Structure 1
Amino acid sequence: MKLYGRTWTRRELEARVGHLGQIGGIRRMTLTEGREAGTDIIRVRTGAGLAFDVVPSNGLDISLAEFLGASMAWKSPNGDANPAFYEPEGTGWLRTASGGLLMTCGLAHVGSPSEDEHGANGLHGRAHHTPALHIAICEQWSGDEVEWSISGVIEESSIFGCKLRLYRSISGRLGENRITIKDRVENFGFQPAAHMMLYHFNFGFPLLDKHTEIDLPPAQSTSRDEHARLADCLRWQDPDPRCRESVYYHMLDQEALKSDHMAEASLFNPAFPAGTATKPVRVTLRWSADTLPILVQWRMPGAGEHVLGLEPSNCLVEGREAETRRGGAAGFATGRIRCVCSRDGRYRIKIKK
């Protein structure tokens, strides 16, 4: 294992600690106060500076995320609210959405509230507020490396309606500041089922400041909002309470991608806090462009709501009715299908020092 600037064998490390948790690892806990009471948390520490919370109560999404003790993600004022408080109608999603590094939007609906022949759908669907089933946690030595993983199942089902099942695995190694997310969505019903999917990554202070550089993959870009300027896609700014949110659609240029069809976006902060000093840090997001061909960008440099969303997706965020009219990339699955998040079934987040 590479750790603290050198390579160690298993026995060398075991000789120096009484418990592996002294270095890093996984710990499960339950929150006890307010609207967060009863929310399950799985805390992961890589031992190399990255720490984050996986939330089984909220669809195995990722809430708090820190590097070198400083936050990378924006947290909403709702905290990690228990999904029992979820209001599915209209924009009620906003009252309990946690923010954090990842909120999964889907499985059958993404975007603005809408209604079609399949029924009414609230903002961004139900996945983020659906507790996961069959949670499995593994932390074990493989030679001189410690590999960890968290897995579970999220189901969205209805009598006479859609029957979708998401299999999710989140994994990595101690000593590496990398998170790998592997998702597989299955239609376990006997009728076609709409499938819309968006990975709502939320970056915030202090990773974001006016010096942060934003790099996006090659794409044809448009703004949803008349007041939004495309030039703002690549810059950040200090909080301004007068700011309005802006949404941009980046339709990925498939021919410009590498042979593995993986797209990449990154944030670079030249002076990220590291204790009493600063150091340059780049956060890189990689995903499969063949299954998630759109990058939705949510720019909100307001006060309190001070967040940049980078959101790989198979659809826009106008709602299912509008997506159907557009003839977009959202899948309408027939029978028993597998919809994976990349050619090798992997969806990667990579954090580099």
Structure 2
Amino acid sequence: MGDDVSDPRVPVPDRLTLARYAGDGAAYGGVRSVVLDDGSERGIRVLEFRTGGGLRFDVLVDRAMDIGLAEFDDVSVGWRSATGFVHPGLHENADEDGLSWLRSMSGLVVTGGLDHTLFGGEVDASHYAYPPRPTVRHGLHGRVGNIPARLIGYGQEWVDGRAVLWAEGEVRQATNFGEHLVLHRRIEVDLGGTEIRLTDEVRNAGFERTPHMFLYHVNVGWPLLDRGVRFVADIAETLWQTDSVAEQGIDHLVFDAPVRSAIEQVYEHRLVPDADGRFVVGLHNDTLGLAFELVLDPAAFPCFFEWLNLREGAWALGLEPSTHHVAGDAAAREDGSMIWLEHGESRRYDTVFRFSRSTSA
């Protein structure tokens, strides 16, 4: 990108200035805990982040601490689907042949995992040594996105002279005679900042060797996603795509209008790291002068999918960094790429969500 013009309209105060001018630091920005209280969202704990730099977003504590609403300069970035942010107590985990995950899919970030991602199916479970259940059946993108977190804390702290807004929690996916995986999630953003730093660690707290798959479904919707908006990534090659790509012939690099009853289009791209050794993918809206980008660790997320939901009433672009290729669970076990965690072993994921007012290439 070109020159960054993301400076907030009000200069970011230092600690003394903030204390002198405001009895409450929330006068500039902060984190507030609320509870949603209507419809299928009723009862969900939410942490509302306001940076003072034009960025605001919601952390859905009871939905794996995923990010729901996300706005930059009052423009909605995170996709708002018709499902809303469904309370996990209403989630239909095993219904519709494993596709019921789609009934609670909304927001900027929906996490997939912790032991399964991608399409569902039945796989061997003999490693859990429980004869009554020789196999386990998974639904689309696993269970973790509909599990409430144990909130460790949230607030504002000063680090090397800058104020950091933060939240931290733990999501436990466990059953008897099965997986016991723990996701430790920390979300940070600087006061006045326009970048969200997401740090995840997934650990096997059980004593059986356990498969691990992980994915972020990062969903961008209107009005940041609009006609003429560009998908930007350094793509070495496209490894796979759905049949709908050739059948529909709809561009995946520059977007047009929603299409009646369009079939989803999915691509697996092999990305080229930038000069810092990171994958950078994003969406640039030149009309609004705004951009949204993901900065990814290739060692953690070697695979990347682009998901296009192009139909009327549900228009969205999904950016999906993944630990595994599109063939999924059974194929990963077959070709040896499945991640197996022994007791106490863990995997770490560091990702940056970058919002900018500059869209020059």
User: Could you say whether these structures have the same fold, taking a TM-score greater than 0.5 normalized by the shorter chain as the test?
Assistant: yes
Judge conservation of contact 1:223–1:246 (CA < 8 Å) in 2: no
- Per the alignment, residue 130 of structure 2 pairs with none
Question: Is 1:234 the counterpart of 2:239 in the alignment?
Answer: no
**2: CA distance, partners of 1:297 / 1:127:** 21
3-state SS of paired residue (1:150): strand
Q: How many Å apart are 1:257 and its aligned residue?
A: 4.3
State how far apart, in whole Å, the 1-side matches of 2:53 and 2:274 are.
30
Q: Do residues 108 (structure 1) and 115 (structure 2) align?
A: yes
Structure 1 residue ranges without an equivalent (≥5): 273-279
1:251 equivalent in structure 2: 270
Task: Report the Cα distance in structure 2 between the residues aligned to 1:153 and 1:220, rounded to whole angstroms.
Answer: 37
Cα displacement (A) at 1:125: 0.6
Q: Give the 3-state SS of the residue equivalent to 2:89 in structure 1.
A: helix
How far 1:143 sits from its partner (Å)? 5.9
For 2:103, the equivalent position in structure 1 comes to 95
Paired residues for 1:270-309 under 5 Å = 270-272=286-288, 280-309=289-318
Match of 1:275 in 2: none
Q: What stretches of structure 1 move > 4 A for 4+ residues in a row?
A: none
Q: Is the 8 A contact 1:48 1:174 kept in 2?
A: yes
Aligned position for 1:46? 51
CA-atom RMSD, angstroms?
1.9
Note if contact 1:167-1:183 (Cα within 8 Å) is conserved in structure 2: yes
Residues 41 and 6 (structure 1), Cα distance of their counterparts in 2 relative to 1, 3 Å cut: closer
1:37 aligns with 2:42: yes
The change in CA–CA distance for 1:151 and 1:321 in structure 2 (over 3 A counts) is same
Letter in 1 for 2:124: E
Residue 237 of structure 1 deviates from its aligned partner by 1.3
Select 2:353's aligned residue among 332, 338, 349.
349
Among 195, 206, 212, the residue aligned to 2:229? 212
Q: Is the 8 A contact 1:111 1:316 kept in 2?
A: no
Distance 2:235 2:307 in 1: 17
Aligned residues: 336
Kept in 1: contact 2:53–2:193 (CA 8 A): yes
Q: Which residue of 2 aligns with 1:84?
A: 89
Q: Find the counterpart in structure 2 of residue 202 from structure 1.
A: 219
- Calculate percent identity across the aligned residue pairs: 30
- AA aligned to 1:196 is M
TM-score (norm 1): 0.89
Determine if the alignment matches structure 1 residue 269 to structure 2 residue 269.
no
* Cα deviation 1:9-55 (Å, max 9, x = unaligned): 33333333342212111000001112111111100001010000001
